[in-house]
Amino acid sequence: MYRRWWTLAVVCAAKFMLLLDVTIVIVALPDIQHSLHADFTDAQWVIDACSLAVAAVLVTFGSLADRHGRRPSISLSDSLFAVLIGTLLATALRLFRRLSAGLACRAGDV
């Protein structure tokens, strides 16, 4: 019985990460559209590209799950997602540190 609840928790966490990812793309879409000077149809391609990527990964990891089991497949996909999000957060933090260092240097010039 305990194993069923553990499986449900892992699947719910994976679904939450997917919804979080899609929400981030949708929230960032106006800024992406503005920075790329794109119209609505071009911005729609951002969502379509995200959906296509999710579908391609879903098929790939579904095939891996059929060959090697569900547990290694979901562990690998969750780990890959965490690494990619960590990389993005580290890049954003690096950019923020660079910006604050530049502002501090500029403040010293005044």
pLDDT higher than 80, residue 72: yes
Residues in Cβ contact with 13 at an 8 Å cutoff, skipping those fewer than 6 apart: 78
The answer to whether 68 and 82 have CB atoms below 8 angstroms apart is no
Residue 29 CA from chain centroid, whole number: 14
Q: What is the pLDDT of residue 105?
A: 67
Q: Give residue 7's pLDDT band: very low, low, confident or very high (50, 70, 90).
A: confident
- In this prediction the pTM is 0.49
Closest CA to 71 of 2, 3, 1: 3
Q: How far apart are CA 61 and CA 74, in angstroms?
A: 8
**In percent, how much of the chain has pLDDT > 90?**
0
pLDDT higher than 80, residue 39: yes
99 DSSP 8-state letter: H
Helices (H), the chain: 2-35, 40-68, 70-109
Q: Residues 21, 27, 30, 34: is their CA dihedral positive or negative?
A: negative
Where exactly are the structural domains of the chain? 2-109
